[in-house]
Structure 1
Amino acid sequence: MTTDARGVARVMMNRPAVFNAFNEAMIGELDAAFAALAEDASVRVIVLCGAGKSFSAGADIQWMKRASEATQAWNLEDARRFAGMLDRIARCPKPTVARVHGLALGGGVGLTLACDIAIASGRATFAVSEARLGILPSVIGPYVINAVGPRQARRLALTAGRIDAREALQLGLVQQVVGEGDGPGTEGADGAEATALDLAVDACVSDLLASGPQAQAEIKTLFAQLAAGPITEQVRELTAQTIARVRMGAEAKEGFAAFFDKRPAGWVPQGD
């Protein structure tokens, strides 16, 4: 985990020998990293990425084997830790970006969807793969449904088949794809495509740094309380109360002043 001068933190999953498959230790490390970064006032944006050829191949098979041989109580606590880690990422008050390359399978899809923004290499491959092991995508299920809708989520989970980055983009698993790729089954990215992916992530980060950090935290808090559907009286009141409060804050005053003065706002890093 590193943070640069702009306040951009980079959290790298570092188990390349197993394609960054996660176990109890990695779950704990990710949870602790995002908890610390959420409280660090110097951090503006968090990028989640994977070392080696892949983003994350999901659950470590040895971890799953231990789970199958453990008690129900052990399994429940273990699943709660995984669910808590994904929730920690999803509720982080800072903008989060997933840099996805190679494989994103099972829980790797969950990590992708827990982030606010996901940018993928054209060579990336995705699968909600749990059923192939005789289990189900339970903890990541709500994230998949929220991203692609119930019907497509059922298809992905029931077939457990791999899809390429372009289909992932069409479905809403990611918001941007960089490079053409070679379709499902390829892993990693060549140097040019990896560079293009980094440039796309950096461009997204620059856009994020141009917005007010408190405004972004308010967006994440408010949007987490809203759902697609009727705009009820309660929803209207929540949104009115929120904007009335935020408009009176110091960050809003600085933002308007910077606009009228035709200068960068105080939160924009110099050089961006």
Structure 2
Amino acid sequence: MTWQTLDVRRDPRGVVHVTLNTPDRRNVLSAAMIAELTEFARRMAEERGTRAVVLSGAGSTFCAGGDLAWMKAQIEADRPQRLVEARKLAEMLQALNTLPVPLIGRLHGGAFGGGVGMACVCDVAVAARGTKFCFSETRLGIIPATIGPYVLARMGEGRARRVFMSARVFEADEAETLGLVSRVVDAADLDAAIEAEVAPYLATAPGAVAAAKSLARSLGPRIDASVIDDSITRLADIWEAEEARLGIQAFLDKRPPPWG
């Protein structure tokens, strides 16, 4: 397959490197990228011989979150279409979350909104020092709906509530304290840190790893069809609100929203 928004490479060990590859747009989650990430996850779930997947972003930023032009289109759509598009995003996150191989996040530059959600579906995420994080949704008049189940599973409610609603930008060291990332390293050491996360899996039985990951998910917070459906409904609901229309339009117009 020829990927339009991703760069996918497999090394001789069976380690797959998938890179969000629209650096000129700061790797925002466009409709095309959502579709390709879903297809990538489907292929990885079916493909034998993969030992681990490393998720990274090209250019200066890991992922700047959702594509605001795509979100504006949902505000202007009817409710059935909003639900369809929200489900595509939710299903992409769930497909990555349930990969039967380890998913290791390589974060640098920034992870905003949906980009934080992408970090949270990774089994482990390592960030370069200086990486900035933000649940930016409420600044735009929306909420971190479809990423919410994965964020809460990673951080726990108490820690999540410190940053989930405020749209406050925080640094990588705080992200480590909050449990979003497992390690923070100097940028020059990031590749070595990722390799240190990959290496142990090369000595493990792939089937046992997949079964252990499935067990861990079953014992953790429940993220089933009803939870995902609720997150989809909440996102569609917020897209219908006046605040979302005003906030997203203000961002696209490069002016402050009415609330700040």
Band of TM-score, shorter chain: 0.7 to 0.9
Name the Cα RMSD after superposition. 1.1
For residues 6-56 of structure 1, give each alpha carbon's deviation from its aligned partner in whole angstroms, at most 9, with x where no partner exists. Answer: 000011111101110111110000011111112111211101110000110
For residues 89-238 of structure 1, the aligned pairs below 5 Å read 89-179=96-186, 193=187, 195-227=188-220
TM-score, length-scaled by structure 1: 0.77
Q: What is the distance in 1 between the residues matched to 2:86 and 2:202?
A: 34
Q: Matched residues, percent identical?
A: 43
Matched, 1:55 2:62: yes
Q: What is the distance in 2 between the residues matched to 1:222 and 1:92?
A: 13
For structure 1, the residue ranges without an aligned partner over 5 or more in a row are 180-192, 229-272
For residues 171-204 of structure 1, give each alpha carbon's deviation from its aligned partner in whole angstroms, at most 9, with x where no partner exists. Answer: 100111112xxxxxxxxxxxxx2x4101110111
Q: What is the distance in 2 between the residues matched to 1:209 and 1:85?
A: 26
Aligned length: 214
Using the TM superposition, give the Cα deviation of residue 215 of structure 1 relative to its aligned residue in structure 2, in angstroms.
1.2
Using the TM superposition, give the Cα deviation of residue 154 of structure 1 relative to its aligned residue in structure 2, in angstroms.
2.2
State the 4+ residue runs in structure 1 displaced beyond 6 angstroms: none
For structure 2, the residue ranges without an aligned partner over 5 or more in a row are 1-7, 222-260
Secondary structure of the residue aligned to 2:55 is: strand
For residues 60-99 of structure 1, the aligned pairs below 5 Å read 60-99=67-106
Secondary structure of the residue aligned to 1:174 is: coil
Q: What is the distance in 2 between the residues matched to 1:212 and 1:160?
A: 41
Structure with max Cα Rg:
1
TM-score, length-scaled by structure 2: 0.80
**Alignment partner, residue 256 of structure 1:** none
- AA matched with 1:4: D
Secondary structure of the residue aligned to 1:156 is: coil
For residues 152-182 of structure 1, give each alpha carbon's deviation from its aligned partner in whole angstroms, at most 9, with x where no partner exists. Answer: 2223122111110000001100111112xxx
